[in-house]
Amino acid sequence: MTVSLLAGSTPVILIVDDDEVLRMLMRQFLEGEGYAVVEAEDGHAALEKLAEQSFDLVILDIAMPGIDGPGVCEHIRSSMTDPPPVLMVTALDDEKSIERSYGAGAVDYIRKPLRWPVLKNRIRYILGSHRAKQELELLSRNYEMILDAAANGICGVDDQGLISYINPAALKMLGYTSEEVRGRDCRAVFRISLPGSEEFSEDCCPYFTRPDVRTTTCFDEARMLRKDGTSFPVDFRSTPIRQGQRLIGGVLVFQDVTERQEAAELIRYMANHDPLTNLPNRNYFRRRLPQAISLARRYGRILCLLFIDLDRFKPINDQFGHGVGDIVLMQVAERLRKALRTSDSVCRLGGDEFVILLESTEALEGATLVAQKVIESLNEPIDAGDHVCFIGASIGISVFPLDCQDAETMLRHADIAMYEAKKKGRNCWQLYTE
């Protein structure tokens, strides 16, 4: 029902009294005050009028034949979704009737004979209060519609930490229905673990137990449990609501950051991997090699670096095109993976250059055996669609700490040794020596 007050139109008042003279006097007075007036001579007529149109106020005589004032008031309250306020008028000094009127839903009463200044101010107060209540309800409904449409999860809790509101986005993320969570302790529903922890025991509303917490509590990149026991990553905010110095509740806002984390992970992966072969790339290798040298130095181990340059690769690109060349590079990457243990790593530096890092080799012979195994693997023909390609590999080997002390020197020595292998006739390996 559209309320005339909210639309800015003239308030409409229904007068219900079996005294025709009093109705006439009230009409004259109220119209003189700028109100629109409709009359009803008894309770039945009042209910008919109420079914036909909307009113901003009903002035009801308590004592009427048929349905009396409290009876009409009860009907108004029980049958209308947005009932107008009811002001009772009585000539009786009967506390029981007055109590019954308030029990039926009347907001106030005034005694006969009417004192017009009192009536004027009583009506003004009732209409103002009702308008403020309706505007507040309308504002609340609008806010709730906005919250319901929000993509983030939003939850309101009362001063006991019990859930009083939760929006559809929050329910969807958590896997609950509204009935399952409303009225429950928020700590039983919002179970949070911090990064690096598997304990879902963080207090989602610490301000209820710690008076020193007066600002928003933030949990970034945390995890939260769903109803089914699975978890998902969230950014979580919990803000206390205070009225003066008194804590009256809190607002919880959270966002599922699964897609953001996956996107960040994809960006990290792409920054550190070759898109063609999916091997770690030069960027990754330049960070990994110094780390591997530090570990080898700490534990007194040797570290071997194999620098691989493919033989006879350029003619494949020139003769068959880069599409065939790409197939060859992917096959090479797969063969290099199979030639290594899980503790070792292979990277593509770019073009037809690859490196292998052997971190768990106890003797130099281990590196030469891997180099020979790689050469034999790459000597096998490669099926590249409509073409069969034959390549080889020249491999240079540098060993920490035998011929180098840092990453830059190690890579340069392995590169030098690789060119020496090419000078020897290709398809072989060469250790770096002075």
Kind and range of the H or E run holding 34: none
Range of 101-110, 141-150, 425-434 with top mean pLDDT: 425-434
pLDDT exceeds 90 at position 398: yes
Predicted pLDDT of residue 185? 95
Predicted pLDDT of residue 64? 84
Q: What is the pLDDT of residues 268-297, one digit of tens each?
A: 999 999 999 999 999 999 999 999 999 999
How many whole angstroms separate alpha carbon 19 and alpha carbon 226?
65
The confidence band for 2, taking pLDDT boundaries of 50, 70 and 90, is very low
Task: Provide the pairing of β-strand 353-358 with 303-311.
Answer: antiparallel
Q: What is the pLDDT of residues 415-429, one digit of tens each?
A: 999 999 999 989 999
Q: What is the pLDDT of residues 176-229, one digit of tens each?
A: 999 999 999 999 999 999 998 889 999 999 999 988 888 999 999 999 999 999
3-state class percentages of the chain: helix first, strand second, coil last, to nearest 5: 45, 25, 30
Predicted pLDDT of residue 363? 87
Domains and CATH numbers, the chain: 4-146 (3.40.50.2300), 153-260 (3.30.450.20), 273-431 (3.30.70.270)
Angle, helices 407-423 vs 282-299, to 10°: value is: 110
Average of pLDDT values for 126-135? 83
The confidence band for 8, taking pLDDT boundaries of 50, 70 and 90, is low
Cβ neighbours of 5 (radius 10 Å): 18
Q: What is the pLDDT of residues 35-84, one digit of tens each?
A: 999 999 998 998 999 888 989 999 998 888 888 888 888 888 888 888 89
Please state the φ and ψ torsions of residue 308, each to the nearest 5 degrees. Answer: -110, 125
% of residues, the chain, pLDDT over 90: 65
How many whole angstroms separate alpha carbon 191 and alpha carbon 57?
49
Q: What is the pLDDT of residues 334-374, one digit of tens each?
A: 999 998 888 899 999 999 999 999 998 888 999 999 999 99
Average of pLDDT values for 148-162? 91
Please state the φ and ψ torsions of residue 405, each to the nearest 5 degrees. Answer: -125, -5
